[in-house]
Amino acid sequence: MSKTKALDNFVIRQFHQTGIDTLFFYYRRMRWRKAKACARQYLGEGAPKRLMRWHLRRMRQAYILYGWEFDEYFMFNYNRLSRSGRKEFVTETQKDYFCDTIYKGQVVDLFTDKWSAYQHFAPYYKRDVCMLQSWEQDQDAVKRFLEKHNTFILKPENGSLGYGIQILHNTSANDVKALLKEYPGGFVMEELIDQAQEMAVLHPQSVNTVRITTLRLNDKTHIIHPFVKVGRGDDIVDNAAQGGIFGVVDIVTGVVTSVCDKMGNRYVYHPETGEKLIGFVIPKWDEALTLAKELSTVVPEAAYTGWDLALTKDGWVVVEGNSRGQFVCYQMAEQKGFRKEFESMLGCTLKQFCKPQGRRVR
């Protein structure tokens, strides 16, 4: 082994032995490329190089010292916060450590697998759902589904963030069979949700949902800051990752208090429909909360779940559950950290909660 190689290995060992593995990861994995791409997204392609370099240095600092991802640096306005203020935010990494700690066994796959989730929570979907993974095995179920619903919404079996979702019209069995080439992992076919007009006024093209996250500890269900998700343009999904906007909902009143998108743009009115968002009251709000609390008891092992609920003329229905629902929407829209409130629910610090699993939370 060359002296240079031996020295490199010695430095690497020192990084790990002294606990500076985050710094090692930053440089060894070349995360600066991801940082540059993120900075261009938020600052614009034409941003001055000097400004880019200044933000990149600060983004590196936020990542190494506080564990902030690069988009969180912009979302939470890192440079406007004091050191103590930065520690008040729950980052994506910390949230993932928490989820890895609280979930037991394979329950996390319950929501990753959309068909499995439907089988567990079928009474709460209140619509027909069909799964296609193998044409030889599933063709009879598909044909029965198409006899009732040749217009439906298709969702990739293990998809997330709204990617790959589409509405198909006048679809034949051969059309569905051909789709397996586009979705080799399989997909779920769902009867369309007939959205209540009270929610459709926000954006008729998408089913606008309410995310109510439940945390169940010691047989008690906590509600974590709910928010409403609203689509934009011609999009059929309301996910922020697909350009949608989200608004924090007051737990007690159901009133929308602040609205923004993932780029930090703030809204009082919907940019296309003109409907007022700030002050909008979610219809039948108490019923939505009751449903979320009831859902939290169906599979007790799923102690932390973000429930996406849609309002129909017959009441609230489940769109899907999320085992790794984010905290970013509340923290970004309100520009307020959630850590102290979250730790009061846990009854200990986040670091103490994750410690049994060997997680390092700053």
Q: How confident is the model at residue 182 (pLDDT cuts 50, 70, 90)?
A: confident
Rg (CA), the chain: 23
Q: Which of the 8 DSSP states describes residue 280?
A: P
Best mean pLDDT range from 141-155, 234-248, 268-282: 268-282
Give the separation between CA 354 and CA 362, rounded to whole angstroms: 11
- Three-state secondary structure call for residue 279: coil
Return the domain boundaries, the chain.
3-88, 128-190, 195-336
Q: What is the pLDDT of residue 138?
A: 86
48-88 pLDDT, tens digit per residue, is: 999 999 999 999 899 888 989 999 999 999 999 999 999 99
- Three-state secondary structure call for residue 330: helix
Higher per-residue confidence, 167 vs 291? 291
In CATH, which of 3.30.1490.20, 3.40.50.2300, 1.10.3720.10, 3.40.50.1000 is domain 128-190? 3.30.1490.20
225-240 pLDDT, tens digit per residue, is: 999 999 988 877 777 7
DSSP string, 203-255: -TTS--EEEEEEEEETTEEEEEEEEEEE--TT-S---GGGT-EEEEE-TTT-B
User: What percent of the chain is predicted at pLDDT more than 90?
Assistant: 52
150-167 pLDDT, tens digit per residue, is: 888 898 876 656 667 888
Give the separation between CA 69 and CA 89, rounded to whole angstroms: 12
Q: How confident is the model at residue 330 (pLDDT cuts 50, 70, 90)?
A: very high
Q: What is the pLDDT of residue 18?
A: 46
Give the separation between CA 85 and CA 87, rounded to whole angstroms: 5
Instruction: Just give the CATH number of 195-336.
Output: 3.30.470.20
CB 231 within 8 Å of CB 244: yes
Q: What is the pLDDT of residue 179?
A: 86
Q: What is the pLDDT of residue 12?
A: 45
